[in-house]
Structure 1
Protein backbone atom coordinates (compact mmCIF):
# COMPACT_ATOMS: atom_id res chain seq x y z
CA UNK A 1 0.00 0.00 0.00
CA UNK A 2 2.75 2.41 0.89
CA UNK A 3 4.42 1.78 -2.45
CA UNK A 4 1.27 2.37 -4.46
CA UNK A 5 0.65 5.67 -2.65
CA UNK A 6 4.30 6.72 -3.21
CA UNK A 7 4.23 5.83 -6.93
CA UNK A 8 0.84 7.45 -7.34
CA UNK A 9 2.15 10.69 -5.82
CA UNK A 10 5.27 10.46 -7.99
CA UNK A 11 3.16 9.95 -11.12
CA UNK A 12 0.94 12.90 -10.20
CA UNK A 13 4.01 15.16 -9.65
CA UNK A 14 5.54 14.03 -12.96
CA UNK A 15 2.27 14.68 -14.77
CA UNK A 16 2.03 18.20 -13.38
CA UNK A 17 5.70 18.89 -14.19
CA UNK A 18 5.47 17.73 -17.81
CA UNK A 19 2.15 19.39 -18.58
CA UNK A 20 3.16 22.80 -17.23
CA UNK A 21 4.41 25.21 -19.89
CA UNK A 22 7.94 26.12 -18.81
CA UNK A 23 8.75 28.15 -21.94
CA UNK A 24 9.59 31.81 -21.57
CA UNK A 25 8.70 34.18 -24.39
CA UNK A 26 11.66 35.24 -26.54
CA UNK A 27 12.84 38.77 -25.95
CA UNK A 28 14.76 39.92 -29.00
CA UNK A 29 15.67 43.53 -29.56
CA UNK A 30 17.56 44.81 -32.58
CA UNK A 31 18.73 48.40 -32.68
CA UNK A 32 20.81 49.34 -35.72
CA UNK A 33 21.06 52.99 -34.77
CA UNK A 34 21.48 55.88 -37.19
CA UNK A 35 23.19 55.46 -40.55
CA UNK A 36 26.89 56.34 -40.66
CA UNK A 37 27.61 59.96 -41.54
CA UNK A 38 29.94 59.67 -44.52
CA UNK A 39 30.70 62.26 -47.21
CA UNK A 40 30.26 59.84 -50.16
CA UNK A 41 28.20 56.99 -48.70
CA UNK A 42 29.26 53.88 -46.81
CA UNK A 43 29.94 50.28 -47.82
CA UNK A 44 27.00 47.85 -47.76
CA UNK A 45 28.59 45.43 -45.28
CA UNK A 46 29.74 45.67 -41.64
CA UNK A 47 31.45 47.62 -40.20
CA UNK A 48 29.89 50.06 -42.75
CA UNK A 49 33.07 52.11 -43.21
CA UNK A 50 32.83 55.26 -45.27
CA UNK A 51 33.26 54.52 -48.97
CA UNK A 52 35.69 56.67 -50.94
CA UNK A 53 34.52 59.14 -53.54
CA UNK A 54 34.23 57.21 -56.76
CA UNK A 55 32.86 53.98 -55.27
CA UNK A 56 29.18 54.81 -55.93
CA UNK A 57 27.68 55.90 -59.25
CA UNK A 58 24.86 58.38 -59.79
CA UNK A 59 22.12 55.78 -59.38
CA UNK A 60 22.84 55.64 -55.62
CA UNK A 61 21.65 59.22 -55.13
CA UNK A 62 18.04 60.40 -55.31
CA UNK A 63 17.51 64.15 -55.31
CA UNK A 64 21.15 64.45 -54.32
CA UNK A 65 20.86 62.22 -51.23
CA UNK A 66 22.55 58.86 -50.78
CA UNK A 67 19.86 56.15 -50.70
CA UNK A 68 21.78 54.13 -48.15
CA UNK A 69 23.24 50.66 -47.97
CA UNK A 70 23.01 47.69 -45.62
CA UNK A 71 20.27 48.02 -42.98
CA UNK A 72 19.75 51.71 -43.90
CA UNK A 73 19.02 51.04 -47.61
CA UNK A 74 16.09 53.14 -48.87
CA UNK A 75 16.20 52.45 -52.59
CA UNK A 76 13.40 51.09 -54.74
CA UNK A 77 12.50 47.39 -54.78
CA UNK A 78 14.69 45.46 -57.21
CA UNK A 79 17.32 48.23 -57.29
CA UNK A 80 20.85 47.53 -58.53
CA UNK A 81 23.19 50.50 -58.77
CA UNK A 82 26.65 50.77 -60.27
CA UNK A 83 29.77 50.81 -58.15
CA UNK A 84 33.48 50.92 -58.92
CA UNK A 85 34.67 47.99 -56.83
CA UNK A 86 38.33 48.96 -57.29
CA UNK A 87 37.66 51.14 -54.20
CA UNK A 88 36.19 48.24 -52.16
CA UNK A 89 38.35 46.56 -49.45
CA UNK A 90 36.62 43.25 -50.31
CA UNK A 91 38.18 43.57 -53.78
CA UNK A 92 41.68 44.43 -52.53
CA UNK A 93 41.48 48.20 -51.98
CA UNK A 94 43.75 49.13 -49.09
CA UNK A 95 43.99 52.88 -49.59
CA UNK A 96 42.58 55.68 -47.47
CA UNK A 97 38.91 55.85 -46.55
CA UNK A 98 37.41 59.34 -46.32
CA UNK A 99 36.58 61.22 -43.19
CA UNK A 100 33.58 63.52 -42.88
CA UNK A 101 33.96 66.55 -45.13
CA UNK A 102 36.93 65.18 -47.06
CA UNK A 103 37.30 66.24 -50.70
CA UNK A 104 37.18 63.74 -53.60
CA UNK A 105 40.38 61.86 -54.40
CA UNK A 106 39.53 59.48 -57.24
CA UNK A 107 37.22 58.90 -60.22
CA UNK A 108 34.39 56.52 -61.06
CA UNK A 109 34.45 53.64 -63.55
CA UNK A 110 31.42 51.37 -63.18
CA UNK A 111 32.47 47.72 -63.07
CA UNK A 112 29.80 46.10 -60.88
CA UNK A 113 26.16 46.57 -59.87
CA UNK A 114 25.02 46.03 -56.28
CA UNK A 115 21.65 45.97 -54.54
CA UNK A 116 22.44 47.89 -51.35
CA UNK A 117 22.46 44.71 -49.24
CA UNK A 118 25.82 43.36 -50.40
CA UNK A 119 24.68 41.36 -53.43
CA UNK A 120 26.08 41.80 -56.94
CA UNK A 121 23.68 41.64 -59.85
CA UNK A 122 22.57 43.38 -63.03
CA UNK A 123 21.56 47.04 -63.01
CA UNK A 124 19.54 46.82 -66.21
CA UNK A 125 21.38 49.79 -67.73
CA UNK A 126 24.91 50.62 -68.80
CA UNK A 127 27.05 52.36 -66.16
CA UNK A 128 29.79 53.61 -68.49
CA UNK A 129 28.29 57.09 -68.81
CA UNK A 130 27.81 57.59 -65.08
CA UNK A 131 29.91 59.77 -62.85
CA UNK A 132 30.55 59.46 -59.16
CA UNK A 133 27.50 60.21 -57.08
CA UNK A 134 27.41 62.81 -54.40
CA UNK A 135 25.21 65.19 -52.54
CA UNK A 136 24.42 67.80 -55.18
CA UNK A 137 21.94 67.83 -57.97
CA UNK A 138 18.56 66.25 -58.39
CA UNK A 139 17.21 63.32 -60.27
CA UNK A 140 15.65 60.00 -59.56
CA UNK A 141 16.82 56.42 -59.18
CA UNK A 142 19.50 55.90 -61.77
CA UNK A 143 19.95 59.58 -62.64
CA UNK A 144 20.74 61.61 -59.50
CA UNK A 145 23.99 62.88 -58.20
CA UNK A 146 26.96 65.05 -58.60
CA UNK A 147 29.37 65.57 -55.78
CA UNK A 148 29.34 67.85 -52.84
Structure 2
Protein backbone atom coordinates (compact mmCIF):
# COMPACT_ATOMS: atom_id res chain seq x y z
CA UNK A 1 0.00 0.00 0.00
CA UNK A 2 1.51 3.40 -0.95
CA UNK A 3 2.35 5.89 1.75
CA UNK A 4 -0.21 8.70 1.80
CA UNK A 5 0.95 12.18 0.88
CA UNK A 6 1.68 14.28 3.98
CA UNK A 7 -0.93 16.92 4.66
CA UNK A 8 -0.22 20.55 5.38
CA UNK A 9 -0.94 19.84 9.05
CA UNK A 10 1.68 17.11 9.31
CA UNK A 11 4.23 19.44 7.75
CA UNK A 12 3.51 22.33 10.13
CA UNK A 13 6.11 21.45 12.77
CA UNK A 14 8.86 21.23 10.15
CA UNK A 15 7.68 24.41 8.46
CA UNK A 16 7.73 26.28 11.76
CA UNK A 17 11.26 25.09 12.49
CA UNK A 18 12.43 26.05 9.00
CA UNK A 19 10.80 29.48 9.27
CA UNK A 20 12.44 30.10 12.64
CA UNK A 21 15.85 29.15 11.24
CA UNK A 22 15.28 31.34 8.19
CA UNK A 23 14.35 34.27 10.42
CA UNK A 24 17.50 33.76 12.53
CA UNK A 25 19.71 33.60 9.40
CA UNK A 26 18.12 36.74 7.96
CA UNK A 27 18.51 38.60 11.25
CA UNK A 28 22.15 37.51 11.46
CA UNK A 29 22.72 38.78 7.91
CA UNK A 30 21.21 42.15 8.79
CA UNK A 31 23.48 42.35 11.83
CA UNK A 32 26.68 41.31 10.05
CA UNK A 33 27.82 44.88 9.40
CA UNK A 34 27.22 45.88 13.03
CA UNK A 35 30.02 43.75 14.48
CA UNK A 36 27.62 42.37 17.08
CA UNK A 37 28.05 38.72 17.99
CA UNK A 38 25.30 37.62 20.36
CA UNK A 39 23.78 34.18 20.57
CA UNK A 40 19.98 33.94 20.31
CA UNK A 41 19.84 33.30 24.08
CA UNK A 42 21.96 36.38 24.82
CA UNK A 43 19.77 38.45 22.52
CA UNK A 44 16.66 37.20 24.28
CA UNK A 45 18.10 38.05 27.71
CA UNK A 46 19.01 41.52 26.45
CA UNK A 47 15.44 42.01 25.18
CA UNK A 48 13.98 40.87 28.51
CA UNK A 49 16.19 43.27 30.47
CA UNK A 50 15.32 46.03 28.00
CA UNK A 51 11.57 45.48 28.47
CA UNK A 52 11.75 45.76 32.26
CA UNK A 53 10.53 49.13 33.42
CA UNK A 54 11.41 50.56 36.79
CA UNK A 55 13.53 48.28 38.93
CA UNK A 56 16.01 46.15 36.95
CA UNK A 57 15.31 42.40 37.09
CA UNK A 58 17.00 40.00 39.48
CA UNK A 59 18.96 37.03 38.17
CA UNK A 60 16.15 34.76 39.46
CA UNK A 61 13.57 36.81 37.51
CA UNK A 62 15.60 36.35 34.34
CA UNK A 63 15.94 32.60 34.91
CA UNK A 64 12.18 32.34 35.32
CA UNK A 65 11.43 34.40 32.21
CA UNK A 66 13.95 32.42 30.12
CA UNK A 67 12.74 29.14 31.64
CA UNK A 68 16.30 28.07 32.47
CA UNK A 69 18.26 27.25 35.60
CA UNK A 70 19.90 30.22 37.37
CA UNK A 71 23.38 28.99 36.41
CA UNK A 72 22.51 29.41 32.73
CA UNK A 73 21.54 33.03 33.39
CA UNK A 74 24.86 33.61 35.12
CA UNK A 75 26.68 32.40 32.01
CA UNK A 76 24.57 34.64 29.74
CA UNK A 77 25.02 37.67 31.98
CA UNK A 78 28.77 37.04 32.21
CA UNK A 79 29.03 37.09 28.42
CA UNK A 80 26.88 40.20 28.03
CA UNK A 81 28.76 41.95 30.82
CA UNK A 82 32.08 41.12 29.14
CA UNK A 83 30.76 42.82 25.99
CA UNK A 84 29.67 45.86 27.99
CA UNK A 85 25.94 45.36 27.29
CA UNK A 86 24.77 44.84 30.89
CA UNK A 87 26.04 45.40 34.40
CA UNK A 88 25.30 43.85 37.75
CA UNK A 89 24.04 46.27 40.38
CA UNK A 90 23.19 45.61 44.01
CA UNK A 91 19.57 45.95 45.05
CA UNK A 92 19.32 49.04 47.29
CA UNK A 93 16.82 47.27 49.59
CA UNK A 94 18.76 44.01 49.88
CA UNK A 95 22.49 44.06 49.15
CA UNK A 96 22.53 40.26 48.72
CA UNK A 97 20.28 40.56 45.66
CA UNK A 98 21.92 41.30 42.32
CA UNK A 99 19.98 43.08 39.61
CA UNK A 100 20.88 43.34 35.93
CA UNK A 101 20.59 46.58 34.01
CA UNK A 102 21.41 47.67 30.49
CA UNK A 103 24.37 49.90 29.83
CA UNK A 104 24.38 52.58 27.12
CA UNK A 105 26.11 50.00 24.91
CA UNK A 106 23.37 47.51 25.74
CA UNK A 107 20.63 49.99 24.83
CA UNK A 108 22.24 50.80 21.47
CA UNK A 109 22.82 47.09 20.82
CA UNK A 110 19.18 46.38 21.62
CA UNK A 111 18.10 49.06 19.12
CA UNK A 112 20.34 47.44 16.48
CA UNK A 113 18.93 43.99 17.26
CA UNK A 114 15.35 45.30 16.94
CA UNK A 115 16.18 46.96 13.64
CA UNK A 116 17.77 43.76 12.31
CA UNK A 117 14.77 41.73 13.46
CA UNK A 118 12.34 44.12 11.71
CA UNK A 119 14.40 44.02 8.52
CA UNK A 120 14.55 40.22 8.63
CA UNK A 121 10.79 40.00 9.14
CA UNK A 122 10.16 42.38 6.25
CA UNK A 123 12.39 40.26 4.04
CA UNK A 124 10.54 37.08 4.96
CA UNK A 125 7.07 38.62 4.77
CA UNK A 126 7.71 40.43 1.46
CA UNK A 127 5.78 37.89 -0.67
CA UNK A 128 2.60 38.38 1.42
CA UNK A 129 -0.06 40.97 0.74
CA UNK A 130 -1.18 43.35 3.49
CA UNK A 131 -4.31 41.22 4.03
CA UNK A 132 -2.25 38.03 4.29
CA UNK A 133 0.08 39.69 6.81
CA UNK A 134 -2.91 40.72 8.91
CA UNK A 135 -4.31 37.18 8.86
CA UNK A 136 -0.90 35.72 9.72
CA UNK A 137 -0.48 38.22 12.55
CA UNK A 138 -3.84 37.18 13.99
CA UNK A 139 -3.00 33.50 13.71
CA UNK A 140 0.39 33.99 15.36
CA UNK A 141 -1.19 36.01 18.18
CA UNK A 142 -3.65 33.18 18.77
CA UNK A 143 -0.79 30.67 18.95
CA UNK A 144 1.46 32.82 21.11
CA UNK A 145 -1.23 34.08 23.49
CA UNK A 146 -3.50 31.05 23.41
CA UNK A 147 -4.20 28.49 26.12
CA UNK A 148 -1.65 25.88 27.04
CA UNK A 149 1.26 28.17 27.87
CA UNK A 150 1.56 30.20 31.04
CA UNK A 151 2.19 33.88 30.42
- Larger Rg: 1 or 2? 1
TM-score, normalization by structure 1: 0.22
Larger helix proportion, structure 1 or 2?
A: 2
